Amino acid sequence: MHGGLLAGDDRGLAYGDGLFETLRVDAAGRVPLWPRHRARLLAGARRLAIAIDAPALERCLADTLAGAPGAGVAKLIVTRGGGGRGYLPPAAPRPTLIGRFAPLPVYSDAERRRGIETGLCRLTLPDDPLAGLKHLNRLPQVLARAEVASQGWREGIVLNARRQPVEATAMNLFALYGDTLWTPALERAGVAGVARQWLLEQAARHGLRTSVRLRPLSQLRVADGVFLANSVVGVLPVRKLAQWVWPVPETVIGLQGDLDALFQA
C-alpha cells in the first residue's frame, strides 16, 4: 500500500484506473458524511476489483487531515497502483492511496439565497458502463467545465445523447414539481452523489415525494424550483438556465439549511 507517491507506471495516471471522493470537512475537523463516502468508495473498489479496505481508507483520511487548518475539502484518490504497459491489470497490484486538502469553494450569500445562473453545455455525456461510480475517468466533465468557464456561467447542465438532463459538471441536479422532488436516474451516465442520496432520504421530512427518472429537458421549464447539490457545496439554487428563470422556493432553502447544519461544528 502506497501512501501518497504516484509512480510513473501508476494505472490511475495511465488509464484512469481508480476512484476518488471529495469530502467536506467542518471547522472542528469532522467529516460528517464520511461513512457514506467510505461506503461508496469501498463499493466502487469492489466493482473494479481494487483490493482496498476500510482501515486503509481511515488511515489515509487521518493522514490527510493531520495538521489541516479546519474547514476545507479533503480529496482521497485510490488507484489500482503500478502495472506496467497494457490494459490488463497485474495479478497482484498494490493500490495507491493519495490524500489532499484544499479550501472550500466560495459562493456568496446572495448566490446561495437567490440562486446562480447556469448554461447548457454543448458536450453530451455518453452511456457509461460504470455510471454512478466516482471513477477517475472525468474528461467529459473537464471539457464541460472549461465551457462553463469560457461562457462565464457558475455551472453548466449536461445532457445525455437523448437530450435529457443528467447532472451539472460537478453537482447533481434536482427540481421541484409541486410536492415532488425530482432528480435524474443515473444508470447510464452521471455520478450518484452522497449528498444526492442524503437529500432523497430527507425529502419526506419536508412533505415531499421523490421521483428518480430521466425526463425531457423541456420539462425543466415548468419546474417550481431547480437546484444543484453536492457534499462540498451543499444545496445551490438555480435562478436561471438560458432563458428560463425560476424562483427559489422555501422548500429548497429548507433543504439547504438541513444539509448545512451537518457541518456546523
Last residue of a domain, one of 57, 72, 102: 102
Q: What pLDDT does 3 receive? A: 46
139/206 same-domain check: yes
Tell me whether strands 116-125 and 234-241 are parallel, antiparallel or unpaired.
parallel
Last residue of a domain, one of 102, 129, 145: 102
Amino acid letter for position 228:
L
The set of residues, in sequence order, having a beta carbon less than 8 Å from that of 147 and lying 6+ positions away, is 119, 121, 122, 123, 156
Q: What is the CATH number of the domain that holds 257?
A: 3.20.10.10
199-220 pLDDT per residue, tens:
999 999 999 999 999 999 999 9
Whether residue 1 lies inside any domain: the answer is no
142/64 same-domain check: no
45: pLDDT confidence band, cut at 50, 70 and 90?
Answer: very high
pLDDT for 154 beyond 70: yes
The number of distinct structural domains making up the chain is 2
- pLDDT, mean over the chain: 93
CB 72 within 8 A of CB 102: yes
Read off the pLDDT of each residue in 46-57 and give the average, rounded to a whole number: 94
pLDDT for 59 beyond 50: yes
5: pLDDT confidence band, cut at 50, 70 and 90?
Answer: low
Whether residue 211 lies inside any domain: the answer is yes
CA distances from 55 to 47, 193, 215, 240 (A): 19, 23, 40, 44
Active site residues: 22, 134, 167
Last residue of a domain, one of 63, 83, 102: 102
pLDDT for 70 beyond 90: no
Whether residue 229 lies inside any domain: the answer is yes
CB 138 within 8 A of CB 22: no
The set of residues, in sequence order, having a beta carbon less than 8 Å from that of 38 and lying 6+ positions away, is 21, 54, 57, 58
pLDDT for 256 beyond 90: yes
Strand ranges for the chain from DSSP E: 18-25, 72-79, 96-102, 116-125, 155-160, 165-168, 172-177, 180-183, 209-212, 225-230, 234-241, 244-245
98/208 same-domain check: no
Whether residue 5 lies inside any domain: the answer is no
Whether residue 6 lies inside any domain: the answer is no
Structure pTM? 0.93
pLDDT for 261 beyond 70: yes
Whether residue 4 lies inside any domain: the answer is no
Q: Which domain holds residue 57?
A: 11-102
Q: What pLDDT does 213 receive? A: 97
Whether residue 50 lies inside any domain: the answer is yes
